[in-house]
Structure 1
Amino acid sequence: MSSYPKTSALMARGIEFLGSEHAIMCGAMSWVSERNLVSAISNGGGFGVIACGAMTPDLLDAEIAATKAMTDKPFGVNLITMHPDLTDLIAVCTKHGVSHVVLAGGIPPKGSVEAIKAGGAKVIVFAPTLALAKKLLRSGADALVIEGSEAGGHIGPVSTSILAQEFLPELAQDFVVFVAGGIGTGDMIAAYLEMGASGVQLGTRFACATESIAHPDFKKAFFRAKARDAETSVQVDPRLPVIPVRALKNKGTESFTAKQREVAAVLDRGEVDMNEAQLQIEHYWAGALRRAVVDGDIENGSMMAGQSVGLVKEEEPAAEIIVKLMCQAEDALARR
């Protein structure tokens, strides 16, 4: 018998889809969601997801192999749709028999969903609007993540609570839908499950897990932060669409403003096209995030964090975080 009968019953579809003990996914956080954290989350009953980010196919190949050596539980790989080597990255996932591939960062390029499914993996997508969500699910995607603006990293403009009210009544009966953004406790997990979600995705809550390789100073900054400290980046030039990023405010957020002006000027001179300009922005974030996560430069690096950062108070093993979330969800449902 499950230790969490009410929660597990509501998660049943998500559990079956992921193949994990609980339908709790870890959001893909570049430099953070790597072999150590991913394997710890999967071993703890959740579903870890490798953040490919700007990795080359060779680097992803090594990361998947290392993760498989640390866990025999299911885990996924998050691929950025605008990555120039997307086709090769999909082939790497197929080579390793990765069970789930998450496509993030935009509308999946033509043929990418089909290529992933041909390799035997299930496809999870993001969608900022209900119309696009329906189109992607009709076009072959197996599951959807709706992620609100409270989340850390790249975000859309609408809050999780609004997205849940709009998407779940329309989709939850027929499709596997995970809710993400601003979730830090089991009470909120219970609420979204009751609304029809098959499971949830959390990132910020796991960023400071004991197994996370994030620098100690990075973790300390999370412990000190309040919800209002996690701010969204500002778009400088309307001709250069930039997906907003939520992060703790520091000198790095100011540097991003300067970077946008620099890239816009290069774009104006015709030295790069729009796609290359946006890739330069992505590479900026990858480098800035590495400075914070790996090097511990919390002043100049990118401190990507969701507004639930105010609920992260201490370093805990991933398995304990999952147990705590499940206990809170079960208690919340028992009080209904």
Structure 2
Amino acid sequence: MVSMPPDITPPDPARAAARAALDRLWARGTAFLGCEVAILGGAMSWLSERHLVAAISNAGGFGVIACGAMSPAQLEAEIAGTQAMTDRPFGVNLITMHPQLDDLVQVCLRAGVGHVVLAGGIPPGGTLRAVKDGGARVIAFAPALVLARRLVRTGVDALIIEGSEAGGHIGPVSLGVLAQEILPHIREVPVFVAGGIGRGDAILSYLDMGASGAQLGTRFAASTESIAHPRFKQAFIRAHARDAVPSVQLDDRFPVIPVRGLVNAGTRQFLAHQAETIRRFQSGELTREAAQLAIEHFWAGALRRAAIEGDVDEGSVMAGQSVGMVTDEQPTAAIIADLVEQAVDRLCARQPTQAATGAAAPPP
């Protein structure tokens, strides 16, 4: 009988079967993205750049560059920098309101980017056609079933449904509700879930409901490869879920786009700034337009001050409610490995026949 070397552990058949089941559950997502695990990196301004994007893709996931307010030349350089760090697929997130949107699309196509995420509104028809005619696939955000159906009719290739638990700019509905509303009815294209996801067993629950994969941002923001300032990462590590709250609007006449972030001196100052601005409007010192601009401009540059410069007291520390699950600064590959293992653990806890087939099952 041939003995095995002491440092080699025989594979666990049950875990191997569970991992195979997981791969079947998100096979549509991995095939669409061209990666090993159907986990996308959320596009976070300032942070989703070449280092983090390449790290996610190299670890088997799908990194996404956050173009944000970049110029075409800046985006071209960022794509080239990412391609120098990975030969795996990655995407680019473009904001539909960008004044040079068409030029940015052409930058992506010339660079051979295979997936373009159009965020910030319904993708313009011309932009969608340009991406598809250029050989890339379009991913769009669907905040409701009616819009999901409309986007599918217009030709998008995949959808992301993002719940209000997410960090940054958010909608009003939780992922748990959106998933119930949308996943049973949209089968024509892959649908990825996002918002408040921090564990692999949670990803598994949405795969069971029909999702093709998941998008995470907050977990990756504090990763080793993230260029976030150390104080920004420490703020994540110290925070609890209840610390990540949406911005507050004081007056319906002056709308505030809800942004979820960690409570700090800046969020308290924003409330005081709104109150003072409204007082000046009511006294006639400011026009309505000037008051609205004053409120909107309060946070100008605040995300960069927090994420890159480390001003976590008065800057905008955008974070999702999954921030409570960020307990350490980990390499991106370790985060993805943890997520996969958590999903596999959950599958192993099911009946053996269910784990082997990948079938959905109630908790034991």
TM-score between both structures, scaled by the size of structure 2: 0.85
Identity percentage of aligned residues? 62
C-alpha separation in 2, matches of 1:153 and 1:101 = 20
C-alpha separation in 2, matches of 1:286 and 1:73 = 34
Q: Structure 1 residue 84: deviation in Å? A: 1.2
Give the greater-gyration-radius structure (CA): 2
Identify which of 21, 42, 48 aligns with 1:33.
Answer: 48
Query: Residues 15 and 181 (structure 1 numbering): CA distance in 2 closer, same or farther, change over 3 Å?
Result: same
Local SS of the residue matching 1:301: coil
C-alpha separation in 1, matches of 2:164 and 2:225 = 27
The alignment of Structure 1 onto Structure 2 pairs a total of residues equal to: 330
Local SS of the residue matching 1:108: coil
Q: Structure 1 residue 95: deviation in Å? A: 1.3
Local SS of the residue matching 1:165: helix
Q: Which residues in structure 2 correspond to 1:160-179 (within 5 Å)?
A: 160-171=175-186, 173-179=187-193
C-alpha separation in 2, matches of 1:306 and 1:111 = 33
Find the counterpart in structure 2 of residue 184 from structure 1: 198
Query: Residues 242 and 125 (structure 1 numbering): CA distance in 2 closer, same or farther, change over 3 Å?
Result: farther
C-alpha separation in 2, matches of 1:316 and 1:164 = 29
Q: Which residues in structure 2 correspond to 1:299-310 (within 5 Å)?
A: 299-310=313-324
Identify which of 133, 150, 156 aligns with 2:165.
Answer: 150
C-alpha separation in 2, matches of 1:299 and 1:137 = 42
Contact persistence 1:237–1:261 (CA under 8 A): no
Q: Which residues in structure 2 correspond to 1:243-258 (within 5 Å)?
A: 243-257=257-271, 258=273
**Unpaired stretches in structure 2, ≥5 consecutive residues:** 1-15, 351-364
Aligned residue identity for 1:292: A
Aligned residue identity for 1:296: G
Is 1:115 the counterpart of 2:134? The answer is: no
Cα-to-partner distance string for 1:88-141 (whole Å, 9 max, x where unaligned): 111111111111111111122241111111221111001111101100111011
C-alpha separation in 2, matches of 1:261 and 1:18 = 48
Q: Which runs of 4+ in 1 moved over 4 A?
A: 259-272, 283-286
Local SS of the residue matching 2:88: coil
TM-score between both structures, scaled by the size of structure 1: 0.92
Contact persistence 2:239–2:323 (CA under 8 A): yes
C-alpha separation in 1, matches of 2:48 and 2:164 = 20
C-alpha separation in 2, matches of 1:87 and 1:259 = 36
Aligned residue identity for 1:142: D
Q: Structure 1 residue 82: deviation in Å? A: 1.0
Query: Residues 135 and 52 (structure 1 numbering): CA distance in 2 closer, same or farther, change over 3 Å?
Result: same
Q: Structure 1 residue 7: deviation in Å? A: 1.1
Find the counterpart in structure 2 of residue 99 from structure 1: 114
Aligned residue identity for 1:98: V
Q: Which residues in structure 2 correspond to 1:1-336 (within 5 Å)?
A: 4-171=19-186, 173-257=187-271, 258=273, 268=287, 281=296, 285=299, 287-336=301-350
**Unpaired stretches in structure 1, ≥5 consecutive residues:** none
